[in-house]
Structure 1
């Protein structure tokens, strides 16, 4: 199956300010990733091309990176999932920025079922939580995307299991 999954969020801040937050990705002071409610994103060698890492059971390698512009990852796990995902920062104008997360992949039969019934649901909730975190940083707001009951069920099933896998 061909997978294309895109999330976008308009942030009422200049690109330079949003880019500053993205420099903290996968650090102990991460201002993007919602690590309090999801498995943290980690990389063995930091944010640089060739560094391997991931979050929970999802593994990938950084294959392209221009600080302040985008970071692109190649999936290595789960099995049967072949493709990339990318996090981008685009200036709309001098005072507004769009953040985009995009998956482009192909899945084998079993991976397709895993995507349709598990990964997509959890992925969508995680990315919206990350985008909420970015937006809340600039607004001191409490924007919180509501999760579907299926997401809540899946999180309960996975709590304390393979979603908490560490990078070694």
Structure 2
């Protein structure tokens, strides 16, 4: 398999029984410190070098990206930095379903720039990504007054990856 041939498609979404405006206002806070969406108590915080807007650079943990599209209350697109082993973007969007509420969706569309990127995605990043996004969706539902009946739980693989990462981070001195 050629590296350029393998696409990464990953989608998570949650129906919310609230207006798209209410969910969109919540989405607009995703990069603010202490926001109700990002599970910073369990994961590295999503941080940008300026308020959420096109051109803001940042990321979470070692994942680096820039905001390349932003429509307040509707869509936020982050494109992976050239230093990342992936080319592509991840996007949050609010889909208005009228009287039925709305859907908050997160989509990753990327390709591995090198074999290491494909391996990292397949064996580690995908699992960690799925866990953090499901927690984010749980937090979105809770923030609008409709907490999930069964909150997301980490798989044994995610717990093992997190323990490994925590040990690496503890061993690396901070300047």
TM-score (norm 1): 0.90
Q: 22-31 vs 38-47, which deviates more?
A: 22-31
- 1:15 alignment partner in structure 2: 20
Instruction: Structure 2: state its 5+ residue gaps.
Output: 1-5
- 1:138 alignment partner in structure 2: 144
Of the three residues 77, 80, 84, the one matched with 1:75 is 80
State yes or no: 1:159 paired with 2:166.
yes
- 1:35 alignment partner in structure 2: 40
* 8 Å Cα contact 2:63/2:84 also seen in 1: no
Corresponding residue pairs, total: 164
Where do 1:105-144 residues align within 5 Å?
105-107=110-112, 108-139=114-145, 141=147, 143-144=150-151
Instruction: Structure 1: state its 5+ residue gaps.
Output: none
TM-score (norm 2): 0.87
1:141-162 CA-to-partner distances (Å, cap 9, x unmatched) read 3652121100010011112645
Root mean square deviation, CA, Å: 1.9
- 2:96 alignment partner in structure 1: 91
- The residue matched to 2:102 in structure 1 has which SS? strand
Larger Rg: 2
